[in-house]
Structure formats: C-alpha cells, structure tokens
C-alpha cells in the first residue's frame, strides 16, 4: 500500500467515526512567536492557549509524545499525554500524519531541556494531508520541485518564507518613501491597444467583444505620463509588466516594476531621488546588516560612481575613441566578441557593447548616463550634446535595476523619434517602439518638464535578500509544462 493510500484509508476511517477531517474554523489565541515571547507570564498564570499549525515531527512511545507544529512564524513544541487528553483522543493524536493541520488547546510549560512547550488538553484535526511531506522536510533542494510546487517549498524551507517576507517589506518601503514625498499611487491599464514605454516584444491577446487585438503592457510609462499631462504632478505605480522574451536568472516574462514620474524635474533630480530611494529601502529592510549577493558585499556608501555610455563602451572595446559610424562600431564590437543582431542600429550596438563587456563588472551602485538618441526615443536631448539624451541606468552587481529619463515633452520631437523607431522595425529590430497617436495627442495638450524612473522590483529584491535567481523572489515563476507522469 502506498503512503497516499494509507492516508486515504485514515481519512475514510475518520469520516466513518463522524470526525470532520476538514474543519471550518479554529480560534487561535497565540502564535508561536507570542508563546516564545510570553512564556514567562503564560506558565505561572496557567493561561490557556489555542495554537494551530502543520504537524512537522512526532516522537514518543507508550502514553506520551512530543511533536513540533509549524505556524507562519516558526515551530512550537507540543506535548501529548494520554492521562491528560484521554485514551481515545490520545490515540487519534498518535494516528496523525506529518503534514496534517491541527489545532491545540492547553497550557504552557518549559521542559527540563529548556524547550517552551504546550501541554495539550485538546487536539483538533483541521485538515488531513493526503500527500506526505518531502523526505527530510527541513531540506527540500530539488529546484524544479521548489519552483513548480511553491506551496511545498514554503512548507519546508524557512529561508524561502524569509525572502517573501522581506519582499513585502521592500515593497512597503518603496511605497512609504514615495507617499512621504507627495506621490500619488495610481493604476493604469494592463491590456493596452498600443504597447509602448520600452523596447520589448509584447504578448498579444484578442478581445472578442471589441473584436480587436490587445497587448499586455510592457511598461506603464506612456499612461503615467498621460496623468502628468492631466495635472497629477507626482504619480507612481507598482505593477506587473509582461515581455515576450527569453528567461534567465535576471529575466522573467512576467515581472514587477515600480515607475514614478515627477513634474518639473529632470534626470539629475530623479538620479538623486533614485539614490535616496534605494538607500531608504536598504536601511529599512537590512538595517545594520550588509547587503551581500553571491557571497560578495555591495557597498552603498556615497558617492556612487557615474560613467557615460561612451566612456563605458570605449573601455569595453579597449579604445580611446569610439568609431562614429555604425559600420565601424559594428566591426569593433565583432572583434571584441560582442554578438549583434543585423537589425541593430548604432545606439543598440553601443548598448550591447556595454551590456556584454562592462556591465557585469559594475558591482557597487553605478550610474550609466547619456545614452544615444536612437536607443532612447522617449527622452530629451542632452543640453550641450545633441548626440545623446538625458538618461541614466543604475547598475548594481552587474544588473540594471533602474532606468530614468528627462522625459520628452515636445510632441513634434516625440513624433520624429517614433518614426525613427519605425525605420528600425523595418530593418528587423522587432523590439523597436511603435507610434502611439493618442500619446502624441496627449503631449499636444502640453506636458510640463518631467523626470521619470522605472525600478525593477524583482531585481531589487534579489539583491537585498541575496537570492541568486529571479525565480527565487517570484512566488510562482513560469515553468515549462510538466512531463506527463503517473500519479504516485
């Protein structure tokens, strides 16, 4: 008989004896943390506690047993005695399987070995587990199972629970920072008739009632800037975005972004704001602990390094000056071993050189600034240098974690930039941006000077929690379909 068959037999027996194996509720008065913190007052007072969790261990012989029961915050030891529970309830408690959810009522005492324990006076089955916990439940290591069955991963890996608690704390800190500075949290459409705001391939769906294709948003940018046009001078959104692209340890087709926009600001101001935002999150979540990723500390001490894209690309190619023509730059990139798509223009080639040759080595926070116009169609031209735009990317531990522009607010310049992007699409760059006529109409209403920032929340969580992959900070990462198999 298999383990699951045995558990199903127990389930049937419970039902036959009139015992509900799946309870409707249980009134919890104390969690594990409260019991551990308050045991010195709970023990002498004899105050009864009601505690619930998943049965993780059980050991004992004869008429007494110890068990560990796990709730959201930790393990709590429970002591079962036949002379306290009664013969029949004690027998049912001994027949519980690891993984069952139980509720316990009793008093708190400290064992001779110093472990804070509940002396059970009543035990209720709250949910029968029909599948066994993984062997050695304290160490589920199969990555495929961990990602695909996150519920199992959360049951047995306490460090995974920690990561997602810290993720929640990071998002709270992001909100608190922006709320305190007068930013308004908003929501913009996930389904969009025209995708834009980034260079990426979209997911496409069809709306049957309207008989039209819609796109899952690749960015929130163009809608948030419409709100700036409408007079909401400081806005932000923490949202899911979707890009139909490859998957690796820093990329997921579904990911979380923070975007915020501030009227009357430029990229110099948003650079300072971004720096302050990251420092606030690190201080709030890590407190005095260092941020360590891949075993190496990240130094957030000010000032953060600042490097132009041209300087970085020249360093990557090992030259004093960059070729000014696309053909020469492409040839130099080829000699340096940088793979390029034939449809890439000068700006995209420059970006690829930096991404391959320089970015992986930028460990401590570094601002890459002043990108080519061609690769930044939504940004304003840099004052004093018309070949580049006012844009920065923040790189930490080799990963892009934030992107910012002095936003283009001239509708005619924006139209020309969109048209140039259309030329790149014709050359084969299917990630070039598309023209959004309604966004241009909004700009024609007048948008004040504006600075905008996009922050990759998942990557920020990776850095602060020390998680090696984006799939470690997303509760349900996308996976290939499971191979067909027979149920055990």
111 and 160 both lie in a single domain: no
Q: How confident is the model at residue 371 (pLDDT cuts 50, 70, 90)?
A: very high
Residue 238 lies in a domain: yes
Say whether pTM exceeds 0.85. yes
Cis peptide leading into 446, omega within 30 of 0? no
* pLDDT for 139: 52
34 and 107 both lie in a single domain: yes
Residue 63 lies in a domain: yes
Domain with residue 18: its CATH number is 2.40.50.140
284 and 422 both lie in a single domain: yes
* pLDDT for 288: 86
At 49-80, the pLDDT tens digits run: 999 999 999 998 889 999 999 999 999 999 99
- Residues 353-374 have a mean pLDDT of 95
372 and 406 both lie in a single domain: yes
65 and 175 both lie in a single domain: no
Q: How confident is the model at residue 242 (pLDDT cuts 50, 70, 90)?
A: very high
175 and 213 both lie in a single domain: yes
Q: How many domains does the chain have?
A: 2
> Of residues 135 and 48, which shows the higher confidence score?
48
244 and 177 both lie in a single domain: yes
- Residues 471-483 have a mean pLDDT of 91
Tokens of 31: 């969690």
Residue 454 lies in a domain: yes
176 and 281 both lie in a single domain: yes
At 310-330, the pLDDT tens digits run: 999 999 999 999 998 999 999
Residue 479 lies in a domain: no
Domain with residue 229: its CATH number is 3.30.930.10
Which structural domain, as residue segments, surrounds residue 468? Answer: 156-304+364-472
431 and 285 both lie in a single domain: yes
At 406-430, the pLDDT tens digits run: 999 999 999 998 888 888 777 777 7
């Amino acid at each position: 008989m298999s383990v699951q068959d045995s558990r199903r037999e127990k389930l049937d027996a419970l039902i036959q004896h009139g015992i509900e194996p799946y309870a409707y509720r249980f009134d919890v008065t104390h969690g594990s943390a409260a019991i551990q913190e308050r045991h010195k007052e709970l023990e002498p007072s004899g105050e009864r506690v009601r505690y619930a969790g998943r049965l993780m261990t059980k050991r004992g012989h004869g008429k007494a047993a110890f068990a560990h029961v796990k709730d959201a915050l930790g393990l709590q030891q429970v002591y079962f005695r036949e002379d306290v529970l009664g013969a029949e309830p004690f027998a049912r408690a001994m027949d519980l399987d690891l993984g069952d959810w139980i509720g316990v009522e009793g008093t708190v005492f400290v064992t001779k070995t110093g472990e804070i324990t509940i002396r059970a006076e009543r035990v209720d089955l709250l949910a029968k587990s029909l599948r066994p916990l993984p062997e050695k439940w304290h160490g589920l290591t199969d990555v495929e199972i961990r990602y695909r069955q996150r519920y199992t991963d959360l049951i047995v890996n306490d460090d995974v629970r920690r990561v997602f608690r810290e993720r929640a704390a990071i998002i709270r800190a992001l909100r608190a920072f922006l709320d305190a500075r007068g930013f308004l949290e908003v929501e913009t459409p996930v389904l969009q008739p025209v995708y834009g705001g980034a260079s990426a391939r979209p997911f496409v769906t069809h709306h049957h009632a309207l008989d039209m294709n819609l796109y899952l948003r690749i960015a929130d940018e163009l809608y948030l800037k419409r709100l700036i046009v409408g007079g909401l001078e400081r806005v932000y959104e923490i949202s899911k975005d979707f890009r139909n692209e490859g998957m690796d340890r820093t990329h997921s087709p579904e990911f979380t972004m923070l975007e915020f926009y501030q009227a009357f600001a430029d990229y110099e101001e948003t650079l300072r704001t971004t720096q302050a935002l990251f420092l606030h999150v690190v201080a709030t979540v890590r407190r005095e602990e260092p941020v360590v990723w891949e075993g190496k500390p990240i130094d957030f001490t000010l000032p953060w390094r600042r490097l132009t894209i041209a300087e970085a690309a020249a360093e990557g190619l090992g030259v004093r000056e960059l070729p000014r023509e696309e053909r020469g730059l492409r040839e130099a990139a080829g000699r340096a071993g940088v793979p390029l798509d034939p449809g890439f223009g000068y700006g995209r080639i420059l970006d690829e050189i930096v991404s391959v040759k320089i970015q992986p080595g930028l460990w401590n926070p570094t601002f890459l600034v002043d990108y080519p116009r061609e690769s930044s169609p939504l940004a304003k031209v840099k004052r004093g240098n018309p070949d580049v735009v006012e844009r920065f990317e923040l790189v930490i531990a080799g990963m892009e974690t934030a992107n910012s522009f002095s936003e283009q607010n001239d509708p005619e310049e924006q139209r020309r930039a969109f048209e140039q992007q259309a030329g790149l699409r014709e050359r084969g760059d299917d990630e070039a941006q598309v023209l959004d006529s309604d966004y241009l109409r909004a700009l024609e209403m007048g948008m004040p000077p504006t600075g905008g920032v996009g922050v990759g929340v998942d990557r920020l969580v990776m850095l602060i929690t020390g998680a090696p992959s984006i799939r470690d900070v997303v509760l349900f990462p996308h996976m290939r379909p499971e191979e067909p198999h027979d149920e055990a």
